[in-house]
Structure 1
């Protein structure tokens, strides 16, 4: 007769109900993860398909990168709002989606690289045009003719251009 810790029968085999529940919980986590990824990607894919319809035959890579950057930014903004609303569960979901989307993005130019290109652009302009807000548009136009807009943080370009053109943004 088997006795283990006062019980008169053998321990339950490994394929018991506990193991089944454990396996189901792993599958549930996998299913929720897959569902979350699908949801995040479906909205982005619908934006890409809409861009494809606007510019046949297909949207250029720069447009798709721009769509991805905007989607990641939207999710980061949503996460910040959820944190303010004391909803960390939804904030985590949005941050995870932003991380997934960001994995598809190429790296943006560093501020040093932006400064280097802006310095070249400013050197090409006549000196009278490098210190006026009116000429900021010309600087941007020249900058973006040299760099794909999807490869830079446009806010960083604006900040650095204002600093290099020696006037305050305030």
Structure 2
């Protein structure tokens, strides 16, 4: 079953169970997927859907941070609920050792030695890590390796 089919099935089960909060969050996700498909005139595959979910997760994290600063716990709880739901559709996160191994292999495959080669390394590593690792942390790891 594709990721999109799974999301649609979860929406139907949330409707049957009358879980309005869960249903609303799933509908937001489906709307974001549909918007991307309409904008680009394509049918999104699982990888592209994961990218949409990842973007939505980043937005939720930013919102949670802002709401905490404003002492709005009700809004923090709502955003956290959506973030938790979105996380269920993401692939299992890689361990630090697995990320390290992929970065090491990408550096070796690209023949990178300096910071100017970082783009080559990222191009090799990103497809394997997208949605499964924090790309900011991966970028910092690659920078540390190339400057050392």
When the two structures are superposed, what TM-score results if normalisation uses the length of structure 2?
Answer: 0.76
| Counterpart pick for 1:133 among 108, 112, 115 | 115
1:148 is displaced (CA, Å) by: 5.3
Contact kept, 8 Å, 1:62 with 1:148, in 2: the verdict is no
CA contact (8 A) 1:111 1:156 kept: no
Aligned residue number for residue 65 of structure 1: 50
Structure 1 residue ranges (4+ consecutive) displaced by more than 3 angstroms after TM superposition: none
Q: How many aligned positions are there?
A: 131
Correspondence 1:18-167 to 2 at 5 A:
34-53=19-38, 54-56=40-42, 58-126=43-111, 129-130=112-113, 132-144=114-126, 147=128, 149-167=130-148
RCO higher in structure (CA 8 A, sep ≥6): 2
Checking the alignment, whether the CA contact within 8 Å between 1:63 and 1:150 is kept in structure 2 is no
Q: TM-score, normalised by structure 1?
A: 0.68
- In the alignment, structure 1 segments of 5+ residues that lack a partner are 1-29
Unaligned runs of 5+ in 2: 1-16
Return the alpha-carbon distance in structure 2 between the equivalents of residues 38 and 52 of structure 1. Answer: 21
Larger radius of gyration: 1
- In 2, Cα distance between equivalents of 1:125 and 1:61: 27
Structure that is richer in helix per residue: 2
